[in-house]
Amino acid sequence: MSVRGPALVVAEGIARTYREDPSRLTRVLLRTPPRQVTAVAGVDLTIGTGETLGLVGESGSGKTTLGRLLVGLEPLDAGRVIVDGLEVGRLRGRERRRFRRRCQIVFQNPYASLNPRYSVRQLLGVALRLRGLRRSEQTEHAVRLLERVGLSRRHLDAYPRLLSGGQRQRLALARALATGARFLVLDEPTSALDVSIQAQILELLVWLRREEGLTYLFISHNIAVVEAISDRVAVMRAGRIVECGPTDQVVRDPQHPYTQALLRAVPRVPSASC
């Protein structure tokens, strides 16, 4: 399988299992044993520098957990993840902070991922401080970031509630870039947005990737959106990647029956003959 550029992200046999502990009462009364849910069950994955890997799957397939594992937001139960030469699970202290700056994640719901009590200036300030910028330099940097994502200086003192959904997602992107990140996990970044706004954000993502030399893991349940932005696509089901390949190939000639079923279910506009 071809990977564009040298690998930036390498995951080998990674796994994550959650234990769902029933409350004590149900445990005693119903004698329910703790239930185990394997969210990610041994995934191998490589993302090249400057590449966008799309990750599709239905709800509960483990896409989000996989994304979180790659940026070290979840402990690994097995396997290892190496991003830009650093092994995620082994980092401590200064090294770990350096790693955190390099990988960022943008969440689905910009209404929930931005602290409503922080102004735009403060939200970006937190991230810029991590990069070691002094307060005096922060404003100038914040403005530059806002302009990069299509916002401007006049948004500096706004609070998230005053921004529209699209503007909030732009802000979430600016914050992710503020740390100097090279690798972004985009977890359904457009599914809370309207289609006309979704297209704006996708266009911005493509532009930023080229300008900043970013690498993306783009997670979505919508294979049409993934097709529009990804170089390669990985299809996930029940914690495993069932198919992975160049986008055109996966969409035009899916090999795995699950991918075929997924593609069949996507609504399409009827052809012009009618």
CA–CA distances in Å: residue 141 to residues 104, 184, 204: 18, 20, 19
By CB under 8 A, residue 1 contacts other proteins: no
Region from 45-53, 74-82, 108-116, 189-197 binding other proteins, contact rule CB under 8 A = 189-197
Q: Which stretch binds other proteins (CB under 8 A): 68-76, 82-90, 111-119, 225-233?
A: 225-233
Footprint of other proteins on residues 101-140 (CB under 8 A)? none
Shortest distance, CB of residue 110 to other proteins, whole angstroms?
A: 14
Contacts of 8 (CB under 8 A, 6+ apart): 47, 48, 49, 50, 51, 83, 84, 182, 183, 215
Strands (E), the chain: 7-20, 35-48, 52-56, 78-83, 86-87, 103-106, 183-187, 215-220, 232-237, 240-246
Q: Is 161 in the site for other proteins (CB under 8 A)?
A: no
186 binds other proteins (CB under 8 A): no
C-beta closer to other proteins: residue 179 or 247: 247
Q: Among residues 36 and 196, whose Cβ is nearest to other proteins?
A: 196
Nearer to other proteins by C-beta: 147 or 194?
A: 194
Identify the residue whose tokens are 């979430």: 172
Tell me the sheet residues that pair with 264.
none
Does position 86 interact with other proteins (CB under 8 A)? The reply is no
Residue 238 as a binder of other proteins (CB under 8 A): the answer is: no
Give the nearest distance from C-beta 193 to other proteins in angstroms.
9
Q: How far is the CA of 256 from the CAs of 221, 234, 240, in angstroms? A: 17, 11, 13
Beta carbon of residue 164, minimum distance to other proteins (angstroms, whole number): 6
Figure out which of the listed residues 37, 194, 249, 255 binds other proteins, where binding follows CB under 8 A. Answer: 194
Binding to other proteins in span 24-63, by CB under 8 A: 58-59
Token digits of residue 93: 């202290």
Least distance (Å) between residue 5 CB and other proteins: 21
| Rounded Cα distance, 191 and 213, in Å | 24
Binding residue count for other proteins, defined by CB under 8 A: 36
- What residues contact residue 106 under an 8 Å CB cut-off, 6+ apart? 113, 169, 172, 173, 176, 184, 185, 186, 187, 189
Among 35, 203, 255, 260, binds other proteins (CB under 8 A): 203
Q: What is the CA radius of gyration of the chain?
A: 20
Between 104 and 247, whose beta carbon lies closer to other proteins?
Answer: 247
The 3-state DSSP class for residue 152 equals: coil
Which span sits near other proteins by CB under 8 A: 37-45, 93-101, 110-118, 248-256? 248-256
**How would you label 238-268 residue by residue, b for 16+ Cβ within 10 Å and e otherwise?**
ebbbbbbbebeebbeebeeebbeebbeeeee
Q: Which positions lie near other proteins, rule CB under 8 A?
A: 58-59, 164, 166, 194-200, 202-203, 221-225, 227-228, 247-248, 251-252, 261-270, 272, 274
